[in-house]
Structure 1
Amino acid sequence: MEITRIYLSNTNIENLYSNFENQLTTRYVFDEPSFKTAYEKHENEILEIAVTKMKEFVNNPDRCNNLEGMFPQPKYLTGEWYLSEVIIDDEKTLSLSARFLGTDTGKKTDYLRLEVCFFYDEEYDQFLFEQINSESL
């Protein structure tokens, strides 16, 4: 399955949680200003790695298949996703929250959240991929 990033349309002035229903743009939370600077500097490469890991996830039949009781099920995924949240905490863990749209309710809505986690190595000024977590929405 190919995946396509979409962009939500409502400016998130108050930095609230975003979802497909409220259409708010990405929420950003940085515990330190230096983490924001580091993220912005490496944003393109971080997102490139995250997209690769998310594609691997949704195309891995051990993690995503249409068997009864399985979640997520590819038959419901549209392939569209948006970046709902970016957080770097004081432990230097970067968490990207990507929400994938699905049609399990009969209409397009949030279906799957993938959290792609990185560790920020300040000494080498790089973000190292750690893991990917999934959650139903």
Structure 2
Amino acid sequence: MSKKLLVKDVMTSPVVTVLFSDPVISAVNKMITHDIGAVVVMSGGMPTGMITERDVLRKVVLEGLDPRKTMCQDIMTTPLVTIDAETPIEKAFLLMKEKDIRRLPVVREGRLVGIITEKDIIRKVL
């Protein structure tokens, strides 16, 4: 992998988000509308968690919960693992492997500026 490529060069922006107080159905609708597998959960303008399709299946569907009544904050994955936009993509890939995750919200000075996935990195380096 090239040492010159930074996360900011590969990330997707803007990021699809939901509020922590939104119902899960809102997250599901955004994932369907944007054809994505995850949304970042925001609280007070800051990224605080993530919800993936798997989270919805495991924590809502399999538990028999109503996605209209279950809030995003109740099923989001926390603490949120993020990465700085200026980080080399090699480090992003290693962090994903270490944490066994496929997506990393990208931050600059604590603010959400993008998202990078394993697929993004693989597409860029191949």
- When normalised by structure 2's length, the TM-score is 0.29
Q: What TM-score comes out, normalization by structure 1 length?
A: 0.28
Higher relative strand content? 1
**Which has more helix, going by share of residues?**
2
